[in-house]
Amino acid sequence: MKTMKKERLSEMAAKEIKAYMKEHHLKEGDKLPPVSELMETLGIGRSTLREALQLLESRGALQVLNGKGTFVKDIKPFHIQTSIEIDNKKDFLLEALEVRKALEGKAVDLAVVHASDTEVNRMETHLNRYVEALKNNEREKANAADADFHQTIYQATKNELLKSIIDSVWDSFYEFWNEPFGVEDIFDTSYPYHETLLQAIKERDSEKAAAAFQQIMESVRSSIENI
């Protein structure tokens, strides 16, 4: 029983570390905080942290260099092909969109029911950040705010399995916030529907939320197809 509890704790720690990497938009070569800081932040012991880091390293997410620290590895499968044709990228995004519609569509359904007031406020904050960043011509911050809005919806589902599945394909989803085709404003036309979606979640209106989400997806699809 002790071994099972220990393994479960290390898995939880690994999940939190990966969430930290995403929240801070760490990329290949970036260094994680020192071991002592991670232990304090996560509230775990050295052995549990070591197991969590080894777990992430075995999955190719991290590289632990003795005496130097722990570094992020770029494991995005799409980025492995540096000379990919633009049509292939279009096909990739359209296929990823279909997966996203299925998973995020369910996430929206659950978020309408389970989102806390704090999570709803956080969604609103992210959308406000998005607008403010665009006004200041800070595209990278705008993209990050948009991604954070959707991440908060996933968190609001209160469904750990669904969040885990979405997490496993997040690298593919992130392409939607990574200026595909080098076009910064490619998905800006979908923003008004984000506002409608947020309002629907506030009102706990499942039908309105589903309709707004479908409008977002169709706007994104249209933008991709028109490239």
What local confidence, expressed as pLDDT, does residue 64 receive? 86
Which residues are CB-contacts of 105 (< 8 A; sequence separation ≥ 6)? 210, 213, 214, 217
Q: What is the mean pLDDT of residues 39-53?
A: 89
Tell me if residue 184 falls in helix, strand or coil. Answer: coil
Interval 132-154: pLDDT, tens:
999 999 888 888 899 889 999 99
pLDDT above 60 for 75:
no
Instruction: Tell me the two tokens of residue 188.
Output: 């800006």
Indicate whether 51 belongs to any domain: yes
42 lies in the same domain as 146: no
35 lies in the same domain as 60: yes
Tell me if residue 178 falls in helix, strand or coil. Answer: coil
36 lies in the same domain as 119: no
What local confidence, expressed as pLDDT, does residue 8 receive? 66
Is residue 95 within 8 A of residue 225, CB to CB? The reply is no
For strand 69-72 and strand 62-65, is the pairing parallel, antiparallel, or unpaired? antiparallel
Lowest mean pLDDT among 13-17, 66-70, 82-86: 82-86
pTM confidence score? 0.65
Average pLDDT over the chain, rounded to an integer: 86
What local confidence, expressed as pLDDT, does residue 180 receive? 79
91 lies in the same domain as 189: yes
Split into its structural domains, the chain has a count of: 2
Question: Domain of 67: which CATH number?
Answer: 1.10.10.10
Question: Domain of 103: which CATH number?
Answer: 1.20.120.530
Percent of the chain with pLDDT over 90: 52
Which residues are CB-contacts of 18 (< 8 A; sequence separation ≥ 6)? 56, 61, 167
What local confidence, expressed as pLDDT, does residue 134 receive? 93
38 lies in the same domain as 59: yes
- Domain range for 147 is 83-225
Q: Which of 72, 106, 127 is the last residue of a domain?
A: 72
Percent of the chain with pLDDT over 70: 89
What local confidence, expressed as pLDDT, does residue 74 receive? 58
Q: Which of 72, 100, 116 is the last residue of a domain?
A: 72
Indicate whether 145 belongs to any domain: yes
Interval 149-200: pLDDT, tens:
999 999 999 998 998 898 888 767 877 877 777 788 888 999 999 999 999 9
Is residue 126 within 8 A of residue 175, CB to CB? The reply is no
Is residue 97 within 8 A of residue 186, CB to CB? The reply is no
Indicate whether 137 belongs to any domain: yes
212 lies in the same domain as 150: yes
What local confidence, expressed as pLDDT, does residue 3 receive? 39
Alpha-carbon distance of 7 to 52, in angstroms, equals 9
49 lies in the same domain as 146: no
Indicate whether 77 belongs to any domain: no
Integer CA distances (angstroms), 61 to 32, 41, 70, 201, in order: 12, 20, 10, 34
129 lies in the same domain as 207: yes
Residue that wins the pLDDT comparison between 28 and 198: 198
What local confidence, expressed as pLDDT, does residue 175 receive? 72
11 lies in the same domain as 112: no
Which residues are CB-contacts of 39 (< 8 A; sequence separation ≥ 6)? 45, 46, 49
Interval 9-25: pLDDT, tens:
888 888 899 889 888 88
What local confidence, expressed as pLDDT, does residue 105 receive? 97
Alpha-carbon distance of 182 to 174, in angstroms, equals 14
What local confidence, expressed as pLDDT, does residue 79 receive? 38
Is residue 9 within 8 A of residue 43, CB to CB? The reply is no
